[in-house]
Each structure stands twice: as C-alpha cells, then as structure tokens.
C-alpha cells in the first residue's frame, strides 16, 4: 500500500496536538469564558431551544444564507461576498486547493501561523518564507522582491500576527497588496481584539481575501466556524472546491445567535484587553524578560528560562504555548481570568528568581 501514497505525502508528519494534563488551558488563544457566562439568559435559552428542536435526519441548508446575511450586513457587503467554513483551517485548505500546485507557491512571514506552510506541503508546493524584522515587523522590501521574482499565487499576512501578537503597519500591507500579482490573504482571526481590518478594501482591491473566525473572541472554538470575505469572482472560484454541507446545523445555529448578540461579548473582550495590559506591564518590570506589545488576547515574550517556565506552569496544571528552533526562547500564553493570570505571573517570577 505504501507504493500508492504520493511521495510528497510520505515526507509529511501528522499535525499532532499533545495530550497533556492541565486544568487551565492558555495555549491556543481561546476565550476563557463559556457563552453561558456571557450571553443573557434569554439568548442562551434560545440557543438551547434551537439545538433541541433541530431536525437531525436532514442535511443543513447548504446556502447558510442567514449567517452569511448577518456577516455581510455587519461588514457592508452582500452574502455573495461570504464563504463559511468548518473553522478557518478548512477555508485555508480550500484556498490552497483553488490556487496552489507544485508550480505555484505561497509566501509567508516567519514566524507566523504554521498551518499555511503545512497546507502548501500537502499539495506538493513550497512556502517562500520571509523573516520578520527583529521587532517582528514586515520586511516589506524583501517581500516585494520575492513577489517580483517568484511564482507566488497566495501571500499570507496574519493581522495581528500569530504568535507575536502585533499589528503590522497598514501602509506596508497596502504596498504588498499593490505589488502582488497574486492574492493577498489577510487573516484577521483576532479582529475583535485588535479592532482594525482590511474589509473596507475589498471593493478597492480585487486581489484580497479577509479571513475571520468565531474561535477566539466568541467562545465557540469547539464548534469550528470561520468565514472569508472577498469579491464575488474570488468567492465563485473558491466555492468550486468547497464541500457541500461543510457546516453542521448546530454550528450554524449557535454561530448565528452569537453573532446577533455580539454586543454581549464587548464587556468580556474589554476585560480580556484590560487583563492583557496588566500582564504586559507586570512582565515589563522584569529585566530578564523581553515582552512584546500585543494587539490580541495573548502575550508573547522572550526569556532564557523558557523551558523552566513552561515546565513549572505545567506542573501547576497550566498549559501555555512553547516553541522550537529559532523560537525556543519564546513563550506565549492566552489571557485568562484574573485569578488565573495572577497565578501565571506568580509562577513566572518564582522561576526567574531561582
């Protein structure tokens, strides 16, 4: 059977999430509050009724018009500008299937979200990597040089960047859009925290796609709902590879209710941002740590004791994000509830005193 596996697939490693023992999960930038603690009782009861009254023996409405309409209205677009996905990861895969092959490449800014490169490898393509500057800004001139000399169909810009947490300069992103012969994908997974977007540029530039997700701010990461916004020509092309019924009925129903009640999330988002700033200021006081300003719901920092801090937190059942290779001295943690944040800071300070 090995003989029929594509050679480039043989070289891949499965994406594995370690099965670790923890009580506080701060490694994936999720909202620490469940929607039952955020939405008013009436709204949450409506969600429960929707789930219990759903007819399960029929497929979902393949158009997902209600959710697409709601997203379109909020962003001054039409539903024809929207595609929904089983998380943003499925949309990323569909973009790769639509535009990439072993002759056409993607461009990524390193460090960034690892799935871009992995998905390119799945279709036997190559990721052209351009390192960010020492302060994790876009290396715009080098990116443009690559765009001019390489056959790049998709350029991925995470805005704000993951894992570093910073927004890039808008003028730099615009320069890249204007110089690109291909499509620029702007991944706005943390839009609700950063509050800056390129959606308004969709009608101005014909080569941009904006991605967003319900997984970070809206407390439904477990339901896997993401969406992309672009012009109708791009939407039509990507729809050709999208599987039918790619969003289940529960995910669609709950995502719609959450989106309709998104104002209920504003106090929680504000609280997370306030806690983030407190955590940043606390870490800033420690001479042996270099902490980076964040526009997301996480903190990214550098320390020579990254391994020790990670292990000590894990001993205390707190899981944060560690990295390897060039980022082995860096750590990232999601902003949690106040008491959990205070415990993280206490443990970090304890390790650094040893």
**Cis (ω within 30 of 0) for the bond into 330?**
no
Q: Could you read off the pLDDT of 20-76 as tens digits, one per residue?
A: 899 999 999 999 999 888 888 887 888 888 777 888 899 999 999 999 999 999 999
Residue position matching structure tokens 């929707």: 50
Q: Are residues 248 and 341 in the same domain?
A: no
Q: Are residues 210 and 289 in the same domain?
A: no
CATH code at position 196: 3.40.640.10
Q: Are residues 157 and 13 in the same domain?
A: no
High-pLDDT (> 90) share of the chain, %: 88
Q: Could you read off the pLDDT of 242-286 as tens digits, one per residue?
A: 999 999 999 999 999 999 999 999 999 999 999 999 999 999 999
Q: Could you read off the pLDDT of 146-159 as tens digits, one per residue?
A: 999 999 999 999 99
Q: Could you read off the pLDDT of 283-299 as tens digits, one per residue?
A: 999 999 999 999 999 99
- What is the average pLDDT across 93-103? 97
Cα-Cα-Cα-Cα dihedral of 139, 140, 141, 144, to 10°?
120
The tally of domains found in the chain comes to 2
Q: Are residues 16 and 89 in the same domain?
A: no
Q: What is the pLDDT of residue 2?
A: 67
> Is residue 49 assigned to a domain?
no
Domain that holds residue 23: 2-37+265-353
Across the chain, mean pLDDT equals 95
Q: Are residues 276 and 257 in the same domain?
A: no
Nearest to 219 by CA among 26, 14, 4, 38: 38
Q: Are residues 24 and 105 in the same domain?
A: no
CATH code at position 26: 3.90.1150.10
Q: Could you read off the pLDDT of 169-223 as tens digits, one per residue?
A: 999 999 999 999 999 999 999 999 999 999 999 999 999 999 999 999 999 999 9
> Is residue 125 assigned to a domain?
yes
Q: Are residues 8 and 143 in the same domain?
A: no
Residue 346 has pLDDT above 80, yes or no: yes
> Is residue 43 assigned to a domain?
no
> Is residue 42 assigned to a domain?
no
| Interatomic CA distance for residues 46 and 55, integer angstroms | 16
| Interatomic CA distance for residues 145 and 143, integer angstroms | 5
Residue 323: both structure tokens together? 């990295």
pTM of the predicted protein model: 0.95
Q: What is the pLDDT of residue 42?
A: 82
> Is residue 319 assigned to a domain?
yes
């Amino acid at each position: 059977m090995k003989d029929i596996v594509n050679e480039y697939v043989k070289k891949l490693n499965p994406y594995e999430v370690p099965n670790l023992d923890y009580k506080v999960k701060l490694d994936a930038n999720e909202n620490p509050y469940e929607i039952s603690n955020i939405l008013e009782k009436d709204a949450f009861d409506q969600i429960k009724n929707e789930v219990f009254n759903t007819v399960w023996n029929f497929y979902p409405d393949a158009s997902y018009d209600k959710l697409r309409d709601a997203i379109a209205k909020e962003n001054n677009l039409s539903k024809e500008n929207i595609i929904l996905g089983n998380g943003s990861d499925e949309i990323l895969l569909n973009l790769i299937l639509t535009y990439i092959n072993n002759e056409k490449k993607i461009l990524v800014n390193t460090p960034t979200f690892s799935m871009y490169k992995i998905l390119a490898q799945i279709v036997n393509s190559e990721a052209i990597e351009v390192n960010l500057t020492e302060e994790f800004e876009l290396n715009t001139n080098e990116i443009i040089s690559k765009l001019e000399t390489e056959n790049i169909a998709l350029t991925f810009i995470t805005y704000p960047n993951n894992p570093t947490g910073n927004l890039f300069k808008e003028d730099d992103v615009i320069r890249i859009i204007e110089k690109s012969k291909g499509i620029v994908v702007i991944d706005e997974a943390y839009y609700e925290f950063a509050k800056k977007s390129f959606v308004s540029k969709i009608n101005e530039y014909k080569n941009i796609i904006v991605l967003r997700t319900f997984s970070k701010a809206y407390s439904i990461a477990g339901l896997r709902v993401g969406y992309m916004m672009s012009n109708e020509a791009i939407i039509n092309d990507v729809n050709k590879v999208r599987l039918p019924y790619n969003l289940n009925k529960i995910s669609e129903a709950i995502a719609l209710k959450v989106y309709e009640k998104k104002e209920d999330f504003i106090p929680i988002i504000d609280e997370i941002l306030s806690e983030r700033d407190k955590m940043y200021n606390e870490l800033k006081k420690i001479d042996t740590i270099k902490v980076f300003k964040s526009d997301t719901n996480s903190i990214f920092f550098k320390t020579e004791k990254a391994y020790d801090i990670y292990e000590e937190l894990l001993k205390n059942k707190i899981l944060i994000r560690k990295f390897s290779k060039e980022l082995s001295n860096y750590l990232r943690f999601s902003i949690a509830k106040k008491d959990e944040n205070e415990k993280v800071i206490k443990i970090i300070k304890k390790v650094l005193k040893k």
